[in-house]
Amino acid sequence: MNLDEFDKNIKNGRIICGVDEAGRGPLAGDVYAAAVIFDDDTVIEGINDSKKLSEKKREMLFDVITEKSKAYCIASATVEEIERLNILNAAMLAMKRAVEGLEIKPQLALIDGNKSPEIDIPAETVVKGDAKSQSIAAASILAKVARDRYMKRLDEKYPQYQFSKHKGYGTKLHYEMIEKYGISPVHRPSFLKKILDK
């Protein structure tokens, strides 16, 4: 089944939005989420789970999705919120903000994964939804591209950590930079307990 057909089968005349997040795993930076609503007849070639696409392809699709969607919203939860709520709850908060920030109110939200944020409309979780649903895949691309752009801005502010290379993920390079320069205000202390305990 094509990704757009999956959405059509669920729609049943309702307005649906796809929702996904990006940035749950990294050691630094905010967690991002996006929500996307498409018209019934919108089909975007090349849409897939953002992790399966090159950065160049994601950037190109970002422009197509924002242009062709009926409504979209990109939101985030801060490092402070991640530390206070834990990463899962902060990701849920970012998703909630993305859904509530849509200019059109959907009648059903399709949420990637197996946990749904607390929102005031019906929601269905879809495991591996970014490989099944066009609207969830589109949300995954918007969230990922928006977060990558944000990490590049952080790279300008904290060039010593080379955020534009690893996007905050726990790569060998990133750990080496943390060892050398310590923890920045944009790092997530709860993700770096081993280093902090030293």
- Give tens-digit pLDDT for 21-38: 999 999 999 999 999 999
Residue 197 lies inside a defined structural domain of this protein: no
Mean pLDDT for the stretch of residues 178-187 = 96
Residue 86 lies inside a defined structural domain of this protein: yes
Q: What is the CATH number of the domain that holds 105?
A: 3.30.420.10
Predicted TM-score of the model (pTM): 0.95
Backbone angles phi, psi at 109, to 5 degrees: -110, 130
Q: Which amino acid is at 34?
A: A
Residue 106 lies inside a defined structural domain of this protein: yes
pLDDT tens sequence across 110-130: 999 999 999 999 999 999 999
Note down the domain range covering 55.
3-151
Domain count, the chain: 1
Residue 59 lies inside a defined structural domain of this protein: yes
Helices (H), the chain: 3-11, 55-68, 79-85, 87-100, 134-157, 163-166, 172-181, 193-197
Residue 15 lies inside a defined structural domain of this protein: yes
DSSP state of 130: G
Q: Which amino acid is at 9?
A: N
Residue 24 lies inside a defined structural domain of this protein: yes
Average pLDDT in the chain: 95
Residue 183 lies inside a defined structural domain of this protein: no
Residue 93 lies inside a defined structural domain of this protein: yes
Q: Residue 198 — pLDDT band, cuts 50, 70, 90?
A: low
